[in-house]
Amino acid sequence: MLTLLLILAMSSQGQSLVDSGLDFITAFPENVAYFYPFFPKNSLNITALYDNTEVNIYFKGILEHTVILQQGQTEVYLPPSDVEEHKLDVSQKTIQVVSNNYVVVLSISKQEDSVQTNVVYPYTNLGTFYSIPQLNYSEMLSKFPQATGSIKARYSFFRLLIINAQNFTNYIEIVRISQQIEQFQLQPYTLLQLALDGSEVSVESLYNMAVIVSHPCLEATSCKCNMMLNQLRPDAHWGQSFILPLLNIPTWLHITVNTILTGNTLDAGTLEPIQSGTQSISTIYPASLRLISPGLILEVIPETMFAACYLVHFSVAYGNVLVIAETLSRSEVYIDRSFLSSNSWTAIANTKYSIVSVLLHGRHVIWHPTSKIAVYMFRNMTGGIQYGGPAVVLGEKPDPDGCSLHPPEITVAPTPMSWPESHQYCTSTSDELISPSTVIARSALTEFLRNAANTEHWIGLRRSLLTLDWYWQKGNESEDLMDTQWGAGEPSDPVQGMCASVFSDLTWKSVRCCTELKAICYKKPDYFPVLEL
Ligand SMILES: *[C@@H]1O[C@H](CO)[C@@H](O)[C@H](O)[C@H]1NC(C)=O
Ligand SMILES: *[C@@H]1O[C@H](CO)[C@@H](O)[C@H](O)[C@H]1NC(C)=O
Ligand SMILES: *[C@@H]1O[C@H](CO)[C@@H](O)[C@H](O)[C@H]1NC(C)=O
Ligand SMILES: *[C@@H]1O[C@H](CO)[C@@H](O)[C@H](O)[C@H]1NC(C)=O
Ligand SMILES: *[C@@H]1O[C@H](CO)[C@@H](O)[C@H](O)[C@H]1NC(C)=O
């Protein structure tokens, strides 16, 4: 077992993160799959989450392309042909994607039949401390008899690509097992590529950086190879519990930790064959896990990073989507607007999860209305080599109404006001005065009132001046009242109150509309459009 003397950096551990953002930086490492020169086709698929999103794309710091996208629309950006970084050196070959509203970015590195897709993390999900998976190329090859080992010296190691994501000079330190430290300075938005020999332990910087491990031609079977690319998660986004997405191919497990693992039979930094039945792994300290097989290195999604809604993309051919969901609610996983109905769900021993693989092509939204799931996407090259990785996370929290891009937001008016003023205030600063008439709004209100003992606030409920019937006023729209939650003796007669308030025990009371109370304003979640299957 390796003894790693390192600092823990786990500030935001334990919360899932969406892959959407306003600011992205990445690079295209060399792809020499197939050992002979096809022209590479590298691209970025940029998908907008909102209408009228302006996206600017920079290469080497220079604006190359601008486009306005509507919600759900994908722009395929083809960078200049010299985008691939072959040299082990400092370079300016980075691509930045900057937008005025949220987008997600998938990078695609294609060389004939060899394709590698990778979710580009937004700036907000980058970090300043990354433990490096100690991948030793010769050790890896020795585990797979089908790999011939006939690689050229130039391809006999993995590569580490460090990109300065800030508009400041960044100071970078690489620590090795021997505790030897190398220091580098990186200009704004430039990158540094290094050979990895398995002795690197961590990379630390002053400002956020993106860190990518790659291999131009990872040996697979029958003299074929596949380009491999894995954008590392900063240690702060690691987990302690993992459900392995087992594939139908021999796979080994590689584990990276930033402190000593105790009481675990897995040695950090070495490859262990996966025993049949091992599908759930927990570690005492945060770790990152990779599944390795000829042509494939897949980073496992930690359980704490499971999310409610994912986007999967496949180019022309069919691909496999692997879904891990709680067994009790696995029948509620949606593919777009339909349930994922499958007879192949398998419960994973000693866990609350089940797993299934489905064949899909095109683009789909996979989501769950009540619990968090994990979704991976895979494709086969001709010859059976699989590639793929985690799908794009669009939404973190489950929402019964769809793929919610952000959870509902509640704000409270700063001062007490009459009901009409409160309605006006909420409509202009948010969406509406809250109407707990939907599951999602009701749970947001319950959550809010849990921390608001003995209070009374306005809600969007009032009587019609004509019929005296109660109705919901949601922004400019009104809606009939279906279920009610009046307190004892409520509602009183119209003279006593034409508007309604809510108490911290969730009951309603009729109140005169000119009474001054604080309003609870509600901003509805936004949903990603889901299509018919
Ligand atoms: C990598 O693995 C090879 C073969 O297993 C071994 O000889 C070599 O020492 C390893 N390199 C490092 C840096 O551990
Ligand atoms: C980076 O900083 C330079 C110098 O301060 C400035 O001219 C440039 O516009 C900045 N670039 C971006 C993308 O903010
Ligand atoms: C990228 O987007 C284009 C246009 O939507 C689509 O045809 C293609 O299949 C996508 N590529 C991948 C790998 O998802
Ligand atoms: C890819 O190959 C695996 C194993 O051979 C198989 O289970 C899977 O269905 C194949 N996927 C596609 C999309 O053909
Ligand atoms: C609501 O109505 C007001 C006044 O008629 C109008 O100015 C505003 O744009 C409307 N808001 C929405 C969201 O329709």
Q: For position 503, which CATH number holds?
A: 3.10.100.10
**Residue 275: in which H helix or E strand, if any?**
none
* Whether 380 and 440 share a structural domain: no
Per-residue confidence (pLDDT) for residue 156, from 0 to 100: 82
* Whether 220 and 162 share a structural domain: yes
Sequence letter at residue 246: L
User: Has residue 9 been placed in a domain?
Assistant: no
Using DSSP's 3-state secondary structure scheme, residue 447 falls into helix
Ligand nearest, relative to CA of residue 118: 3
* Whether 167 and 259 share a structural domain: yes
* Whether 421 and 368 share a structural domain: no
Per-residue confidence (pLDDT) for residue 296, from 0 to 100: 85
User: Has residue 533 been placed in a domain?
Assistant: no
**Residue 411: in which H helix or E strand, if any?**
strand 409-412
The domain in which residue 43 lies consists of 21-395
Sequence letter at residue 117: T
* Whether 485 and 446 share a structural domain: yes
> Residue 229: which of 139, 281, 290, 307 has the closest Cα?
290
CA torsion angle for 313, 314, 319, 320 (degrees, to 10)? -10
User: Has residue 333 been placed in a domain?
Assistant: yes
Query: How many CB atoms are located within 10 Å of the residue 284 CB?
Result: 13
Per-residue confidence (pLDDT) for residue 118, from 0 to 100: 92
Q: Rounded to the nearest whole angstrom, what is the distance from the C-alpha of residue 378 to the centroid of ligand 4?
A: 9
Using DSSP's 3-state secondary structure scheme, residue 420 falls into helix
pTM of the model as a whole: 0.87
* Tokens of residue 507, six digits: 């009951």
* Whether 87 and 198 share a structural domain: yes
471: left (phi over 0), alpha (psi -120 to 50) or beta: beta
* Whether 386 and 513 share a structural domain: no
User: Has residue 511 been placed in a domain?
Assistant: yes
Look at ligand 2, atom 13, and give the residue with the nearest C-alpha: 167
Is the CB–ligand 2 distance for residue 167 below 6 Å? yes
Of 334, 369, 395, the one marking the end of a domain is 395
Of 341, 360, 395, the one marking the end of a domain is 395
Q: How many domains does the chain have?
A: 2
Of 364, 395, 426, the one marking the end of a domain is 395
* Whether 471 and 337 share a structural domain: no
Per-residue confidence (pLDDT) for residue 273, from 0 to 100: 84
Handedness of CA 360, 364, 367, 369 (dihedral sign): negative
Per-residue confidence (pLDDT) for residue 178, from 0 to 100: 82
8-state DSSP, 196? E
Does residue 432 contact residue 462 with C-beta atoms inside 8 Å? no
Q: Rounded to the nearest whole angstrom, what is the distance from the C-alpha of residue 314 to the centroid of ligand 3?
A: 6
Task: Give the residue, out of 58, 167, 168, with the most ligand 2 atoms within 8 A of its beta carbon, to mutate for a pocket test.
Answer: 167
* Whether 314 and 202 share a structural domain: yes
Per-residue confidence (pLDDT) for residue 266, from 0 to 100: 57
Per-residue confidence (pLDDT) for residue 222, from 0 to 100: 63
* Whether 284 and 417 share a structural domain: no
Does residue 392 contact residue 305 with C-beta atoms inside 8 Å? no
* Whether 241 and 170 share a structural domain: yes
Per-residue confidence (pLDDT) for residue 412, from 0 to 100: 94
Residue 439: which residues within 8 A CB-CB, separation 6 or more?
400, 401
Look at ligand 5, atom 6, and give the residue with the nearest C-alpha: 476
User: Has residue 403 been placed in a domain?
Assistant: no
Q: What is the pLDDT of residues 360-408, one digit of tens each?
A: 988 999 999 999 999 999 887 766 777 889 999 999 999 998 999 988 8
Residues lower than pLDDT 50 in the chain: 1-13, 260-265, 532-533
The C-alpha atoms of residue 414 and residue 87 are separated, in whole angstroms, by 58
